[in-house]
Amino acid sequence: MDTSTPPTAAARRAAAIARHLAALCPRDAAALGPSPCLSYAPPESSGPGAAFSPLELRLFLDGHHLRERDWAFGAMEESPLFCQRRSGGKVFVSPDYNEGKEGQREATMRRVGYLARRGVFRGWLTEPGPDAELRKLALLECLGVYDHSLAIKVGVHFFLWGSAIKFLGTKRHHDKWLQDTENYVIKGCFSMTELGHGSNVRGIETVATYDSKTREFVINTPCESAQKYWIGGAANHATHTIVFAQLHINGRNEGVHAFVAQIRDENENVMPNIQIADCGHKIGLNGVDNGRIWFNNIRVPRESLLNLVADVLPDGKYVSMIDDPDQRFAAFLSPLTLGRVNIAVNSVYVSKVGLAIAVRYALSRRAFSITPDGPEMLLLDYPSHQRRLLPLLAKACLMSSAGNFMKRMYVRRTPEHNKAIHIYSSALKATLTWQNMTTLQECREACGGQGLKTENRIGIFKAEFDVQSTFEGDNNVLMQQVSKALYAEFLAAKRKNQPFKGLGLEHLNGPSPVIPDYLTSDTLRSSSFQMDLLCLRERDLLTQFTTEVSNYLAQGESKEKALMLSYQLAEDLARAFTERTILQIFLEDEKNIPTGSLKDILGLLRSLYVMVCIEESASFLRYGCLSRENVASARKEMMTLCSELRPHALDIVSSFGIPDAFLSPLAFDWIEANARSSGNE
């Protein structure tokens, strides 16, 4: 008997699908086999070789003391205190961020002690001359490449406490404190910021009252908002501090002055009538022991006043070499200038670390194929990836020149330069630190998930360096100061009927530049056109800013209110001034390079910088400096420049002079670094 049954509807559908699939897959098709495993190919293994000398570019970018920099890097690489670890066949050094807050702080201090024994800090406060100052700055930049906490810990001690003693004190302070500071016999900190006042230093509430009977100053924290806050070194290690306080004499407030006070004894016990508390765990910089300080009517000798600018005689008479209170106050803030210089330059070096890692990764990591069965493409061969990284590379190079300019100006400073140094350091500190955070974020994303690993440095750098936009002057406040200074320069020139002089404003003395209606590639790459364009924008914004402020004044507003209401133009003006300054500095440096391959590369970097300035700022369109068509031409030229710079990207990041050990596994054999046998967790 036939026991078969008709197929069900489900079976019929399954058979139809099988026949359909069989038609799509010929019977003679080869069986699928495993794809070959990826292998790491060093970026150096492909490419035509350097078209220029990376060493010459390094000298151009670093500017000074290359041998001393390499020595400092070597000193850190040699010591186990700097957390050597092997990964992917190479040895790397970086802090152990898995340590707790206290562990990171103590590790930082051990590293400081080691560097002191190696002689890194020799002469930092006692050796005179511009070359000694530049050497000091170069070495600090190397420490910052390793760890921001280390650079800040050292910077607070030498550049805030030490600079205050050196530049606000007199011989009695120098003799007593400078050598012991350099030798770390004492550990200094800098008590300016308060809970209630940060950028507005004039408003601080700590009080120092002179007692003429005992010839002492009585320093007091009168309220909770007056507690000193975020004081680096105060929570654990500092023995002394510079206290900024309102000086009261016979009921009269003479304004903010600086005093030396001891906060711990030789046994590291907090001194009587002083209370210190920890600021706690932070998103970064946990190797620095930030603390809070309260003073309960502590007494310090009359000689504790740092008296270069002003003094109090034994009988209580107040004397000063500077009659104008505003100029006197500015003099007391002078130690902050060197801090801003350090922060700005350090931020560029951190950007270089991030770019070196991201570019090297993009020259060894492949993704997707644009042809069937073709090889996957290197990330940096994608135009979109070039657009992400190469403009940042150009900015880092031009900002290196700006940082070197600022350092040279600072170490050769004269009293006549103080105003210019303040304006330049404010503008560049804000711009370069903002750019650093932009660079780190893009580099982190360009490295994909690997950018999130702490050992690859870029992700942790974001948290470590975020504070740069806030300390030593909030960036937005600093840029407001820049626009206000430009406003004052404009009014002074018009009032005196004199030409502009200084700050690169001489271009305002000539006729307004004329921008061609049609911009060719040659025009866009022309240095004269580039300067004309950035000068035109600055000129127009300065005119519009002063006009808007004048209109508010005519309506009865105060000068302060008028400036405040004009903040949008003020922001655009400060940015225009800074971007023109960076270009102008780079052009001056570029002139010193003879015709040849290096000069050609510098021209590509400069042109890409300017095209990106146009791309990223609406001000060129907003204020009519460029037409829509010309902005579109600049955008197209930017992509052409990226493609021309692409073959040189590896050689440019190699010229940064950062040893391999200070990069990360991601910059090298990232496959081997992540192998099961590596033991990485």
Residue 369, number of CB atoms within 10 A of its CB? 11
Give the model's pLDDT for residue 669: 93
Instruction: Tell me how far apart the alpha carbons of residues 610 and 608 are, in angstroms, rounded to a whole number.
Output: 5
Q: What is the mean pLDDT of residues 103-107?
A: 97
Give the model's pLDDT for residue 6: 61
Give the model's pLDDT for residue 15: 67
Give the model's pLDDT for residue 29: 42
Is 538 known to be catalytic?
A: no
Residue 211: which of 274, 275, 298, 273 has the closest Cα? 298
Please pick, among 455, 472, 489, 571, the residue that the annotation labels catalytic. Answer: 472
Instruction: Tell me how far apart the alpha carbons of residues 419 and 665 are, in angstroms, rounded to a whole number.
Output: 45
- Give the DSSP H/E element, type plus range, for residue 303: none
Give the model's pLDDT for residue 336: 75
Is the model's pLDDT at 3 over the cut of 60? no
Domains of the chain: 188-324 (2.40.110.10), 333-662 (1.20.140.10)
Q: What is the 3-state secondary structure (H, E, C) of 319-380?
A: EECCCCHHHHHHHHCCHHHHHHHHHHHHHHHHHHHHHHHHHHHHCCCEECCCCCCCCCEEHH
Residues pairing with 293 in the sheet: 228, 276
Residue 486, number of CB atoms within 10 A of its CB? 24
Question: Has this prediction a pTM greater than 0.75?
Answer: yes
Under 8 Å between Cβ of 239 and 264: yes
Q: What is the mean pLDDT of residues 14-40?
A: 58
Give the model's pLDDT for residue 365: 95
Which backbone phi and psi does 300 adopt, to 5 degrees? Answer: -130, 150
Instruction: Tell me how far apart the alpha carbons of residues 139 and 70 are, in angstroms, rounded to a whole number.
Output: 9
> At which residue do the structure tokens 């910088």 appear?
609
Which of the four pLDDT bands, split at 50, 70 and 90, describes residue 89?
confident
Give the model's pLDDT for residue 12: 66
Give the model's pLDDT for residue 627: 95
Under 8 Å between Cβ of 664 and 355: no
Under 8 Å between Cβ of 210 and 310: no
Give the model's pLDDT for residue 274: 98
> At which residue do the structure tokens 């010193």 appear?
592
Give the model's pLDDT for residue 324: 87
Which of the four pLDDT bands, split at 50, 70 and 90, describes residue 17?
low
Which of the four pLDDT bands, split at 50, 70 and 90, describes residue 16?
low
pLDDT in tens, 191-246: 999 999 998 999 999 999 999 999 999 999 999 999 999 999 999 999 999 999 99
pLDDT in tens, 269-291: 999 999 999 999 999 999 999 99
Residue 343: which of 232, 466, 442 has the closest Cα? 466
Q: What is the mean pLDDT of residues 625-644?
A: 97
Give the model's pLDDT for residue 676: 82
pLDDT in tens, 372-429: 888 899 999 999 999 999 999 999 999 999 999 999 999 999 888 889 999 999 999 9
- Give the DSSP H/E element, type plus range, for residue 411: helix 383-411
The two three-digit tokens of residue 403, written as one number: 């940082």
Instruction: Tell me how far apart the alpha carbons of residues 298 and 295 are, in angstroms, rounded to a whole number.
Output: 6
Is the model's pLDDT at 497 over the cut of 50? yes
Which of the four pLDDT bands, split at 50, 70 and 90, describes residue 50?
confident
Of the two residues 568 and 36, the one the predictor is more confident about is 568
Q: Percent of the chain at pLDDT above 90?
A: 86
pLDDT in tens, 286-337: 999 999 999 999 999 999 999 999 999 999 999 998 888 888 888 878 777 8
Q: What is the mean pLDDT of residues 172-201?
A: 95
Angle at 25 between CA 22 and CA 31, to 5 degrees: 120
Give the model's pLDDT for residue 329: 87
Give the model's pLDDT for residue 121: 97
On average, the pLDDT of the chain sits at 93
Instruction: Tell me how far apart the alpha carbons of residues 173 and 303 are, in angstroms, rounded to a whole number.
Output: 8
Under 8 Å between Cβ of 306 and 257: yes
Instruction: Tell me how far CA of residue 303 lies from CA of 175, 210, 259, 545, in angstroms.
Output: 13, 12, 9, 47
Annotated ligand binding at 232? The verdict is yes
Letter string b/e over residues 550-588, b meaning 16 or more CB atoms within 10 A of that residue's CB: eebeeeebeeeebbebbeebbbbbbbbbbbbbbbbbbbe
Q: What is the mean pLDDT of residues 558-563?
A: 95
Give the model's pLDDT for residue 37: 77
- Give the DSSP H/E element, type plus range, for residue 92: strand 90-93
Give the model's pLDDT for residue 314: 96
Q: What is the mean pLDDT of residues 113-117?
A: 97
Instruction: Tell me how far apart the alpha carbons of residues 145 and 123 are, in angstroms, rounded to a whole number.
Output: 22
Pairing of strands 298-301, 216-220: antiparallel
DSSP 161: I
Assign 630 to helix, strand or coil. Answer: helix
Maximum C-alpha span of the chain: 131
Under 8 Å between Cβ of 360 and 668: yes
Residues in the chain: 681
Under 8 Å between Cβ of 84 and 96: no
Give the model's pLDDT for residue 22: 56
Q: Percent of the chain at pLDDT above 70?
A: 94
Instruction: Tell me how far apart the alpha carbons of residues 190 and 333 are, in angstroms, rounded to a whole number.
Output: 12
pLDDT in tens, 434-476: 999 999 999 999 999 999 999 999 999 999 999 999 988 899 9
Is the model's pLDDT at 492 over the cut of 60? yes
Pairing of strands 290-295, 274-278: antiparallel
Which of the four pLDDT bands, split at 50, 70 and 90, describes residue 31?
very low
